Amino acid sequence: MAEYLVDEAAVDAVLTASRTLVAVATMSLGAAAEDTTIAQYRALVVLASRGPQRMAGLAAALAVTPSTAGRMCDRLVRKGVIRRHRARTDRRAVQVSITAAGLQVVSQATARRRALIADILRKLPPRQQPAVASALQAFARAAGEIPDSLWPADPAEPQPAARTGPGPARPATATGRS
């Protein structure tokens, strides 16, 4: 991906918006917030969007060390929202994947987040909303985020990887989830 000069006004605007988005993310966890940190929730989203991961891959996606990812996964396994298992292609490798309970946490938080974001967008004139959507889609793409519509149908099953440039592998197939 090409890199360009950074507009400091854009950095300031995204920084300001990110405070709101962090608040929305925190509020969206609802009752799960008592048991699930934002970092743990992010791990669940990575597993839901990218399928089973080796610990090193999960750590890279979360931008943490493998030992930090391992401790986080220990907690998530105890909560029953992820599971550890042997990789199908290499029985020596251990992968983690999201469970049905973990998918429920992600689905409920996503529904609450969608409602909170809609409440904020209602305060913008309709003609400004597409510009916000377009800018945030571009930002998410640049960050390597996978849109919900491209998440695997069954994130517990290994996904064939398709490289789209630097960064983690992306699922090669998509579903029509919204």
Q: Give the chain's length.
A: 178
SS3 content of the chain, % helix, strand, coil (to 5): 55, 10, 35
- Summarize the confidence of residues 18-36 as an average pLDDT: 87
The predicted structure's pLDDT at residue 29: 87
Task: Express each pLDDT in 77-101 by its tens digit.
Answer: 999 999 999 878 877 888 999 999 9
Other Cβ atoms less than 10 A from the Cβ of 139: the count is: 13
pLDDT band of residue 130 (cuts 50, 70, 90) is very high
- pLDDT above 90 (res 116): yes
The predicted structure's pLDDT at residue 174: 39
Q: Does the domain at residues 17-171 carry the CATH identifier 1.10.10.10?
A: yes
% of residues, the chain, pLDDT over 70: 88
What letter does residue 44 receive in the DSSP assignment?
A: H
Q: Which residues of 149-175 are buried (b: 16+ CB within 10 A; e: fewer)?
A: eebbeebbebbeeeeeeeebebbeeee
Spatial distance between the Cα atoms of 116 and 112, rounded to a whole number of angstroms: 6
pLDDT band of residue 160 (cuts 50, 70, 90) is low
Spatial distance between the Cα atoms of 90 and 55, rounded to a whole number of angstroms: 14
Other Cβ atoms less than 10 A from the Cβ of 48: the count is: 22
* Cβ proximity of 53 and 61 under 8 Å: yes
* Cβ proximity of 148 and 110 under 8 Å: yes
Strands 161-162 and 94-98: unpaired
